[in-house]
Chains A and B, each alone.
Chain A
């Protein structure tokens, strides 16, 4: 069975400092992993995805994530936070064989001036 755990429901960082949003997963096979961002009253936007190619994935807006099989983690990072990064972030495991999508509960990122 698959599952996704986002370890922090809220993360606060100061503008210009690094961002780390943590995600752990469990899967009995090689998963496809995604990070999405949702700004208030907007639809989800795909930040980046891992589908068994390079383990370090670069996404939009300066975000990146590293797939670590040994740690079953897929943490999202950004070197320097911007005020516009304040949003809800979802880590997702997908099983394309039967269209299953497992969402994490989300992490609300707050950016302090």
Chain B
């Protein structure tokens, strides 16, 4: 049973471009969480999704950021018109209902 798969591992974008980060949860997991980690800080919650629904997006910036978890396929975190401040490591986690999280290895976004 493969773990949580995130790709790409590293992503470089110029300012103003779009970044798309993918997360394939563990098989059978219907809950997906996205986190951002900035240097010297801990993980910051961004959004919590279940299949086709956003449950909690209280940690996500109101502009430029969006997330989806379609019925088929991976969860996508999309950042439009990236700025230097978006440079960070983005982690995805998945779980069953009321069970511990399993984390992916993260995507390192660098905005140049």
A50 to B106, CA, bound (A): 22
Binds B, one of A12-20, A65-73, A94-102: A94-102
| Contact assessment for A43 and B35 in the assembled complex, using a CB-CB cutoff below 8 Å | yes
| Contact assessment for A32 and B103 in the assembled complex, using a CB-CB cutoff below 8 Å | no
Point out the residues of chain B lying under 8 angstroms from A49, CB to CB. Answer: 41-42
Given A88-B100, A101-B103, A103-B103, are A43 and B33 also a contact pair (CB < 8 Å)?
A: yes
B43 at the interface (CB under 8 A from A): yes
Chain A min CB distance to B35 (Å): 7
Question: Which residue of B has the minimal Cβ distance to A34?
Answer: B42
A-B interface contact total, Cβ < 8 Å: 52
Point out the residues of chain A lying under 8 angstroms from B97, CB to CB. Answer: 41
A38 at the interface (CB under 8 A from B): yes
Interface digits, B53-97 against A, CB 8 Å rule (1 contact, 0 not)?
001100100000000000000000000000000000101010001
Chain B min CB distance to A27 (Å): 16
Chain A min CB distance to B32 (Å): 10
Point out the residues of chain B lying under 8 angstroms from A43, CB to CB. Answer: 33, 35, 45, 48, 56, 59
Query: What is the number of residues of chain A that contact chain B, defined by CB distance less than 8 Å?
Result: 23
| Contact assessment for A46 and B43 in the assembled complex, using a CB-CB cutoff below 8 Å | yes
| Contact assessment for A44 and B89 in the assembled complex, using a CB-CB cutoff below 8 Å | no
Chain A min CB distance to B19 (Å): 15
| Contact assessment for A32 and B40 in the assembled complex, using a CB-CB cutoff below 8 Å | yes
Point out the residues of chain A lying under 8 angstroms from B101, CB to CB. Answer: 38, 44, 90
A-B pairs with beta carbons under 8 Å apart, 17 shown: A38-B100, A38-B101, A40-B98, A41-B55, A42-B56, A43-B33, A43-B59, A44-B33, A44-B35, A44-B43, A49-B41, A90-B100, A92-B42, A96-B39, A99-B106, A101-B106, A106-B100
Could you list which residues of chain A lie within 8 angstroms of chain B, going by C-beta atoms?
Answer: 32, 34, 36, 38, 40-46, 49, 51, 88, 90, 92, 94, 96, 99, 101, 103, 105-106
Could you list which residues of chain B lie within 8 angstroms of chain A, going by C-beta atoms?
Answer: 31, 33, 35, 37, 39-43, 45, 48, 55-56, 59, 89, 91, 93, 97-98, 100-101, 103, 106, 108
